[in-house]
Structure 1
Amino acid sequence: MTAPLDIALPAPRNWHADRALSQAAGSLLKARPDYRQLDAALTRLDAVSPALTNGFYNHAPMAVEALCSMGQGDEAPAWLEAQADSFTLAGPEGAPLDPDDWRALIGGRTRYPEWRAFFRDELKDRPWREVLSLWVHRLVDGFSSSACHAILQTAHMARALHAHETPVRLNALANALAAWADRYSPLPVEPRPNQGVLDFHATLSWITLLPEAHAPGEGAITAGYAQLVHADDFAEVTSLVDLSGALELRFDALMQEMTRLFIAYARTPYTVIVFTHAVTATAAARTLSTLVPDALGRRLLFRAFEHGAALMAAFTPLALQAPDPIRALPPNYPAYRAARHGDDHIIKLTEALLRAYQRSHNPIYLDAIAQAFAVLPAPDRD
């Protein structure tokens, strides 16, 4: 009689899959930032409003910086040209803002030009990292404002400034902070003291999903946030999360958890877009955390987690109506493919996952890239 094996036999290897993963990983690791086109792109966007003609947030500043960060800066001019018809102008400035009255002015949604002028003056008089730290401190509780796009824009512009300080990039940071201040809107949940007893995954497992009667459909992400008033235990559960430990490692752990969330629930083009924001918001918070004091970075960590938990609570019921996620292989040269694909969410998601993969070599980030490309078709450019 043959003795039973006491070790597991290796699974048959899929050489095509191995080759695809190897090529994707290799091209990710070789990607290097190329910011030569960034200032020209940001100059073109300088007078543009945060709002597009359809009312949604203008992703262009974020997307062109992400293209440059992935080494695809040469694609930025053509990408901007393709988007230009959707831009609106910021409009003329009104009376200057009173800096002593900032608490009453944030979130007004009517004074973006004045906020832009205010932050440009601030950045002329003080070091940009000082201004950034002060205003992230003041605005961080509005992390999810405009579906977190304001903080995304701020992080992309701060990263560009950290790479090289120029007047154009200072103005771009002013524009980002202005959008965040003007659109400031905290989630509709009562804050609770942090209890710090569960890791990210365990805390998410306790999140109660919105009941079907209150779950949002395929509308604005902010409509999903509004339904959190019906999630009675949301603040209590999110307060359980443990934020202690080395900040960069905690952000890496959160990035992995948000990527798992994406893979589980990004099943349709709409839910790809929704859960992309769990990943990209975490990446943005991580970027900002390296430029501000540690205590503020810890607040960013919590708000990024809370934001992902909010998306999970609000949009998982919709995601579960679709079939299981598509399993696919990542495209060769994903940074180049993202640029050619052209969707702003694909560009920003690929860039965020690229950075996470470069830090950890964890194939989960390649799986997420593969799923995004498989589910979200390229925009119709005709």
Structure 2
Amino acid sequence: MDTTSGILDEALERLHTSGPEFRGFLANHGPMAVEALVRHGQAGSVHRWLDHYETKLEDVPSPQDPVTDANWQQALGDPRRVTDWTAYFTRLVAERPWRDVLATWWPRLLPGIAGAATHPVIRVGHVVRTLLEDGEEAPRIAELAHALGYWAARHTTLPVTVRPSGTASPAEALAALPRVADQQVLPLDGLAQLPGTPGWPAAAESLDVPYDDPDAVRDRTAALVEAAVHHYLDHGHGHGVLMVHTATAPNAVLRTLPALPRELWAVSLGAVWTASAAITSVYSAAEMQSPLEGAGPLVAEEVFERSARHGDEHVIKLTDTALDVANRTADGDDRALAAAVRAQQLIPADS
């Protein structure tokens, strides 16, 4: 990644002058997209991309009442308090090492990982990857505060409790998930149907989570990312945009695991699997889409460059995750790259 030009940090500073959402509930994907663009050799397009994307964004919401160590539980899950939450985490990361703040707050926020369709944890995953791999410059520390603040404000628990403890692989567990009765609804409306969906809790609990083996948890999380990317290739046409998060959310957790105490790894996999499974049940298409045609030979760098030209933030994010999957295999993963091309086809270009 280009860590010397300052483009990523300049972009984050630009984005921190806008709120985390716009048009009522749409997530500001800017910090996630620009990190992916810079990482994959597209730093030269970042500011041009932002010039267009910023026209959609809205101002930072007005503060309401400060979040403190004494009242944070009352403020948890209140989207009106997002600016208060950002200010609170900004103070915390100024006073303590960012890893300590993350380790303290990750288990507090994890039960609400499904909030805002998992966008907050995805935002955390992007910045943690940068902090771990590319340096701890001030705009990146500030971005972690913004991402955690967004998560705290949008903290939302699922209406059904699941503890995965079965024997199924991620691919098997995804394939076994039943679909909710009323699809194509807003995320919260769809999630509310889960308790009444026959077989859903049992299917969600079928995933094998190796609770006593953190290294195996990491590998299982990587397998979940791979399975979700492949599932998108075949079933993402149920909802091209929202199905992206079934893969990018577990990948965000996978990226964050190295910064967390190992005793938090298994519960993190369980939580993100449950959120990914919920979104899958609400938005996955019932029938497989026909095989991808006309894409030609797939080369990772070319696929990402094509996604960068496409311009949509969800396409950029899914391609970033698909490249992670492809890079973990010795000879690449054509199905993962094909999923990225599928997203380019399913999601309208951002012109």
The alignment's TM-score, normalised by the length of structure 2, stands at 0.90
Q: Give the secondary structure class of the aligned counterpart of 1:86.
A: coil
Among 206, 225, 246, the residue aligned to 1:240: 206
Q: 1:116·1:178 contact (CA, 8 Å) conserved in 2?
A: yes
Q: Give the secondary structure class of the aligned counterpart of 2:241.
A: helix
Aligned to 2:18: 48
Among 214, 226, 249, the residue aligned to 2:192: 226
Q: 2:222·2:251 contact (CA, 8 Å) conserved in 1?
A: no
Say yes or no: does 1:329 pair with 2:295.
yes
Q: 1:233-274 CA deviation, whole Å, 9 max, x = no partner?
A: 423332232111523321221122112211121226xx2212
How many angstroms apart in 1 are the aligned matches of 2:282 and 2:110?
A: 21
Letter aligned with residue 186 of structure 2:
A
- Please show how residues 110-121 of structure 1 align to structure 2 within 5 Å: 110-121=80-91
Aligned to 1:274: 242
Larger radius of gyration: 1
Say yes or no: does 1:144 pair with 2:144.
no
Letter aligned with residue 241 of structure 1:
L
Q: 1:267·1:326 contact (CA, 8 Å) conserved in 2?
A: no
Aligned residues: 339
Which structure 1 residue ranges, 4+ long, deviate > 6 Å from structure 2? none
Among 341, 362, 382, the residue aligned to 2:310: 341
- The structural deviation recorded for 1:287 is 0.5
Root-mean-square deviation (CA, aligned residues, Å) is 2.1
Say yes or no: does 1:290 pair with 2:258.
yes
How many angstroms apart in 1 are the aligned matches of 2:313 and 2:82?
A: 23
Q: 1:14-71 CA deviation, whole Å, 9 max, x = no partner?
A: xxxxxxxxxxxxxxxxxxx224311100111112111113531111111111111212
Aligned to 2:222: 252
Q: Any stretches of 5+ residues in structure 2 without a counterpart?
A: none
Letter aligned with residue 230 of structure 1:
G
- The structural deviation recorded for 1:346 is 0.7
- The structural deviation recorded for 1:323 is 5.8
Q: 2:32·2:126 contact (CA, 8 Å) conserved in 1?
A: yes
| Percent of paired sites with the same residue | 28
Letter aligned with residue 227 of structure 1:
Q
Q: 1:146-189 CA deviation, whole Å, 9 max, x = no partner?
A: 00001011111122222211111111110110000011001111
Aligned to 1:59: 29
Q: Give the secondary structure class of the aligned counterpart of 2:19.
A: strand
Letter aligned with residue 277 of structure 1:
H
Among 157, 179, 183, the residue aligned to 1:216: 183
Q: RCO (CA 8 Å, sep 6+): is it higher in 1 or 2?
A: 1
Structure 2 CA distance for partners of 1:292 and 1:313, relative to 1, 3 Å: same
Letter aligned with residue 202 of structure 2:
E
Structure 2 CA distance for partners of 1:191 and 1:50, relative to 1, 3 Å: same
How many angstroms apart in 1 are the aligned matches of 2:154 and 2:347?
A: 28
- The structural deviation recorded for 1:348 is 0.6
